[in-house]
Chains A and B, each alone.
Chain A
Amino acid sequence: MELKLNNVLSDFKLQFKIYGTSSILIEWPKIISEDVLKNMLNFKEFIENNYVKQKIHIISSYNSLLVVYDKGIDNIYNEISHIESWYLSFEDKNFNTTKLWKIPVCYDLDFGLDLEDVSIRNKLSIADIVKEHTSVKYRLYFIGFLPGFLYLGGLSETLYIPRKSQPRLHVDKGSVGIGGAQTGIYPNNSPGGWNIIGKTPINLFDPKAQNPCFAQCGDQIQFYSINKAEFATLTTNMKSNSYTLENTIVHD
């Protein structure tokens, strides 16, 4: 599998497209894979370290980078051939130093509104759902959809479940859910169609903080189970700002 994906990348010619008036879209193969993510994030860093002509900023999604030019682009074709030649000379490496974040989740029925439903439909006990959900180190691909919404890869197939046919008009901030093959956390109160299995007391998005979201693309996220008493304590600590999220440095 590893080898095959590397072949996909080595045979693949990046696609460059003009997007809007001041950005270039660079597209990788249309697959969701850690190899693509790694190659993309490394190339992003390479451009950031080598580009000197003007201020740019680069954002990443599953399989594309968007290079945004603060002052607009004079000659788009020059820019594209420039970045293209960089890609040819650039050498991929492993993921940069990333972090593993441990996120507490309370999988109590009071918070996990759909736990029983998921249990019946996926033929798993609630204890097994929690075990499956907490055993994986999820990869953070990017942040999108809502401010602070993490796109995570790596959900166990045993937990795949379609979105609810009737979305809820209100899902609590911090709710942890599963929608199709994805798992994620609602960073704020919002309507939502995912199956809710728990809730975290952690604040995922703080617009007034220096760093509005704790994690970065490429980081890993792992959930761990807490009980209601711990949930209450952590909620209090979050409110008084006396709680710092745990992380460890990963070299992979």
Chain B
Amino acid sequence: MIRVLDSGFFTSIQDAGRKRFQQFGVPQSGVMDNYASSMANAIVGNTSECAVLELTMVGPKLMFECATAITVTGANMSPKINGVLISNFVLINVCRGDVLSFAASTIGFRSYLAVSGGFKTEIVMGSRSMYKNVTSNHCVNLGDILKINATKRPIVSHAYIKYDNTYINESEILITRGPEFDFLNSAQLSVLFQKEFTISEKNNRMAYQIKELVVNQFKEIITSFVLPGTIQLTPSGQLIILMRDAQVTGGYPRVFQLTEPSINVISQKMTNHKIRFKLEDSFT
């Protein structure tokens, strides 16, 4: 068990998400940065489907009520065990009573905490990913007890796991064509591919909005599917990058689709960060 002494800014349990329930209007959810969470699971020896804790901007304070092995990946929130700084991407065995705490992130926006065997919180519709009105809680709160299995003996890291954290500061966002890409005229395309864009303060697990507007005379479309990574362009010129908790349908033109690695990059962005779009395929 892990006891939550402080919930941090926004902390939730996430796994690979719900892939087959969009027909009921249920978002996919799941980890925002799939690369960082996969690394975290790999380091503690978990399969990639294991649930991890996703931390946002300022991490929580947690007390372990049993022994386990942990690692922290993704953004750097200066994790400490019993007040002593530890490094990201390192396997650490913790004992009953140890306290893991975090500060505000210095690089990146989302960190992942994996524990040996994964978090064992409730499964709803095939996933432990927290989402409002689907799971009992939509985030981790002060006083929560998070179920994990105790390790019987310390875990030794055998494999050397190579990781590359440079994507966290990447500003180039690779996109492919969305279903309404052809709505864009050459003037709009040159704005989209030449200008720098700024992440607005409206950013969360559902969507990231962009500050700069892209003038257009588009009509709304008949409500259709959207996916995590879809970029919508509204009639008022707003670019909306849909993320893992996005609704399953929407009525705005879907001009771009982020590549999977670029979804990870956006997940590490916060308000006022700058990005540029680049078309990935060879049609440019």
| A-to-B contact residues, CB < 8 Å | 17-21, 23, 25, 27, 30-32, 57, 59-64, 66, 68, 70, 142-149, 151, 187-188, 205, 207-208, 212-213, 217
Contacts and interface: CB of A to CB of B under 8 A. Distances in A.
Contact of B247 (A17, A32, A146, A151): A146
B179 A19 contact: yes
B257 A212 contact: no
A18 B125 CA distance: 27
Given A21-B260, A31-B222, A207-B135, 19 more contacts: A18-B177, A19-B227, A20-B227, A20-B229, A25-B179, A30-B221, A30-B222, A61-B222, A62-B223, A62-B224, A144-B223, A144-B249, A145-B248, A145-B249, A147-B26, A187-B133, A205-B25, A212-B24, A217-B23
Interface residues of B, number: 32
B247 A145 contact: yes
B21 interface: yes
A142 B249 contact: yes
A149 B227 contact: no
Contacts of A62: 222-224
Contacts of B19: 68, 70
A144 B21 CA distance: 11
A147 B133 contact: yes
A183 to B, nearest CB: 15
Interface string B13-26: 00000011111111
B134 interface: yes
Given A19-B179, A61-B223, A148-B25, A208 B249 contact: no
Contacts of B249: 61, 142, 144-145
Nearest to B281: A18
A31 B133 CA distance: 32
A203 B192 CA distance: 44
A61 B125 CA distance: 21
Contact of A212 (B21, B177, B221, B223): B21
17 contacts: A18-B176, A19-B225, A20-B229, A20-B230, A20-B257, A30-B221, A57-B20, A61-B249, A62-B224, A70-B19, A143-B25, A144-B248, A146-B133, A151-B223, A207-B133, A208-B124, A212-B21
Question: Taking chain B's interface residues, is the majority helix, strand, or loop, or is none over half, making it mixed?
Answer: loop
Contacts of B224: 25, 61-64
Contacts, number: 92
Nearest to B249: A144
Given A144-B248, A145-B247, A147-B133, A212 B179 contact: no
B30 to A, nearest CB: 14
* Interface pairs A-B: 6 shortest CB-CB: A144-B249, A143-B25, A188-B133, A147-B25, A207-B134, A147-B26
A147 to B, nearest CB: 5
A145 B27 CA distance: 9
B23 A17 contact: no
Contact of A149 (B25, B27, B125, B260): B25
B179 to A, nearest CB: 5
Contacts of A217: 23
A30 B25 CA distance: 21
B25 A144 contact: yes
Nearest to A15: B179
A207 B29 CA distance: 14
Contacts of B229: 20
Nearest to B135: A207
B160 to A, nearest CB: 28
Contacts of B225: 19, 25, 59, 61, 64, 66
Nearest to A25: B179
Contacts of A212: 21, 24, 26, 125
Contacts of B23: 57, 59-60, 142-143, 217
Nearest to B225: A66
Contacts of A32: 222
Interface string B158-188: 0000000000000000001111000000000
